[in-house]
Amino acid sequence: MANEWIERWRDGRIGFHLEKTHPQLMRYWPSLNVPAGGKVLVPLCGKSLDMRWLAQRGYPVLGIELSSQAIEEFLAEGEGEVARYHREPFDIWRQGNVELWCGDFFQLHIENTREIQSFYDRASLIALRSAARQRYAFHLAQLLPPGAKGLMITITRSILPEKGPPYHVESDEVRLLFTPNFEVELLDVLPADDRGFSEHIWTLTRRGPSEI
Ligand SMILES: C[S@@+](CC[C@H](N)C(=O)[O-])C[C@H]1O[C@@H](n2cnc3c(N)ncnc32)[C@H](O)[C@@H]1O
């Protein structure tokens, strides 16, 4: 699976990438009332310009991505010096207040996310097979403190591909995956685009231990 993504990046098969900040991030992020200065975890981040938008608004970003090519392309499009270091098993690049960790999200440990206060996820679930989606929802919860809020943009495809990614993920599944550890609220459903992709906008709040 990791190789598949690395090949996709190498071959430029990145139809999910947006050449602009996601309008729904700009619209809905302020409603989360995340205090500026709090670090935002961006799992499976690609080279999303949304990270730059968050950073410019005073939210340090920790993005995590398998493909070093994606990370290098993000940095090349940015400004400022790039520092590079290694924290086993991740290669880490930093530019301004964006840190990009190259490696497998499932290897990210709570020790690495102590400063995280919120998260932003667009299109992670469609990148993962069914069992990995369950693991993802559980792992994300393990990395976040109670009360942490996140904005999640999921993508549902009306025209089913024969074989993913993108995998087919319905909103019922999103609820099932996250409700054990999060309060889940659906904010908006956008109409399908000409490729049959419809986006759902969610807020998730990590429940405290007594609520779980
Ligand atoms: C559908 S794309 C979404 C990228 C980004 N969130 C966006 O909105 O443009 C999924 C990304 O997750 C990366 N990825 C897939 N599995 C991963 C994993 N286990 N750990 C880290 N990154 C992963 C892929 O390389 C790809 O860039």
* 78-91: pLDDT as tens digits: 999 999 999 999 99
CATH (domain of 37):
3.40.50.150
pTM of the predicted protein model: 0.96
**Tens digit of each residue's pLDDT (9 = 90 or more) over 161-212:** 667 788 888 999 999 999 999 999 999 999 988 888 899 999 999 998 755 5
CA of 96 to the centre of ligand 1 (A): 22
For the segment 25-72, what is each residue's pLDDT rounded down to a tens digit? 999 999 999 999 999 999 999 999 999 999 999 999 999 999 999 999
Q: Where are the alpha helices (DSSP H) in 29-170?
A: 50-56, 68-77, 130-143
Number of domains in the chain: 1
DSSP 188: E
The residue range of the domain holding 8 is 2-211
CA-to-CA separations, 38 to 32, 113, 126, in angstroms, rounded? 12, 12, 27
Q: Which of 11, 66, 195 to mutate to test the pocket of ligand 1 (most atoms within 8 A of CB)?
A: 66
Placement of tokens 């190259």 in the chain: 102
Q: How far is the CA of 206 from the centre of ligand 1 (A)?
A: 22
Q: Which residue has the higher pLDDT, 151 or 3?
A: 151
pLDDT, tens digit, for every residue of 113-152?
A: 999 999 999 999 999 999 999 999 999 999 999 999 999 9
Residues lining ligand 1, judged by CB closer than 6 Å? 5, 16-17, 44-46, 48, 64-67, 70, 104-106, 122-123, 126-127
Return the closest-CA partner of residue 151 out of 117, 105, 176. 117
CA of 104 to the centre of ligand 1 (A): 10
- What is the distance in A from the centroid of ligand 1 to the CA of 2? 10
The reported pLDDT for the residue numbered 194 is: 85
d(CA 27, CA 87): 35
Which residue's CA is the nearest one to ligand 1's atom 3? 123
Phi-psi region of 147 (alpha: psi -120 to 50; beta: other; left: phi over 0): left
